[in-house]
């Protein structure tokens, strides 16, 4: 996959926050009306405190079958700081993406614009690649939801304090906590929701990021560091 390296990652937290504020204005919102052929699920795990393992799972969108995978190991140089996840996981993700072929759409285990500064990991990495990106998070980081959806397929809007649409809480299994879908870059919230619904399988987590997570755990257990 073609990567445009728009900045380095080594910086102090105050610099990282300032960079996020500058980068968020570069994000775009575009309708995604065509049917994607190949999509990627992206997840990161940590075989040790100092090493990040990023996995890219390539899937056929219509069948949700895995066709290939790529991964990268990278030394972690940034501690975990809420709101700055991309600075910890981003370098390993870009290493893995650089080994992957081009796909039509990328699903991240994390947030898009539903983020305190409007640029979660799906949005941030979305500025480095040409394909649209979507955040699929297991918990809500930012925004408000009036009523959580309870039935499979139902959704509720995630709104900012001023009422801006940030994404949707999507119920993927009846009476199970929803996942939180937000656009990353080059896609609208409505398109992100529609495409995420089509990736629901038997489990709470949509298949692209679920399959990526499964593979991160499998590879992590096999690695000798």
Per-residue model confidence as pLDDT tens digits over 186-216: 999 999 999 999 999 999 999 999 999 999 9
Q: Give the pLDDT band (50/70/90) at residue 74.
A: very high
pTM assigned to the model? 0.96
Question: Topology of domain 13-222, per CATH?
Answer: archaeoglobus fulgidus dsm 4304 fold (3.30.2170)
pLDDT for 90-119, tens place per residue? 999 999 999 999 999 999 999 999 999 999
Q: Is the pLDDT of residue 42 over 90?
A: yes
Q: Is the pLDDT of residue 220 over 70?
A: yes
Q: Is the pLDDT of residue 75 over 70?
A: yes
Can you tell me the mean pLDDT for 54-78? 96
Query: For the residues of the chain, what is the DSSP string, one character each?
Result: ------S-----HHHHHHHHHHHGGG-------SPPSEEEEEEEEEEETTEEEEEEEEEETTTTEEEEEEEEEEE--S---TT-HHHHHHHHHHHHHTTSPP-SEEEEES-SS-STTS--HHHHHHTTSSS-EEEEESS--S-B-SS---STT-EEEEE-TT--EEEEEE-SSTTSPPEEEEEEESS-HHHHHHHHHTT--SSSS-HHHHHHHHHHHHHHHH---
Q: Is the pLDDT of residue 223 over 80?
A: no
Confidence at residue 222, expressed as pLDDT on a 0 to 100 scale: 84
Confidence at residue 225, expressed as pLDDT on a 0 to 100 scale: 54
Can you tell me the mean pLDDT for 34-38? 94
Q: Give the pLDDT band (50/70/90) at residue 33.
A: confident
Can you tell me the mean pLDDT for 143-166? 96
Q: Is the pLDDT of residue 20 over 60?
A: yes
Confidence at residue 197, expressed as pLDDT on a 0 to 100 scale: 97
């Amino acid at each position: 996959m073609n990567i445009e390296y728009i900045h380095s990652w080594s910086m102090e937290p105050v610099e990282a926050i300032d960079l996020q504020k500058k980068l968020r204005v570069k994000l775009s919102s575009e309708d995604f009306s065509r049917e994607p052929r190949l999509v990627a699920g992206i997840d990161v795990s940590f075989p040790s405190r100092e090493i990040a393992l990023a996995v890219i799972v390539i899937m056929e969108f219509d069948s949700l079958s895995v066709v290939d995978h790529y991964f990268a190991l990278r030394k972690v140089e940034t501690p975990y700081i809420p709101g700055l996840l991309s600075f910890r996981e981003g370098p390993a993700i870009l290493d893995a993406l650089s080994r992957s072929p081009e796909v039509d759409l990328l699903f991240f285990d994390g947030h898009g614009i539903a983020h305190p500064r409007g640029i979660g990991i799906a949005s941030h990495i979305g500025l480095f690649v040409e394909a649209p990106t979507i955040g699929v998070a297991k918990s809500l980081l930012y925004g408000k939801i009036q009523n959580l959806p309870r039935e499979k397929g139902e959704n509720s809007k995630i709104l900012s304090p001023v009422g801006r649409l940030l994404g949707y809480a999507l119920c993927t299994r009846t009476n199970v906590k929803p996942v939180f879908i937000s656009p990353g870059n080059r896609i609208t919230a409505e398109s992100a929701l529609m495409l995420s619904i089509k990736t629901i399988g038997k489990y709470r987590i949509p298949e692209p990021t679920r399959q990526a997570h499964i593979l991160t755990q499998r590879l992590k257990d096999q690695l000798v560091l």
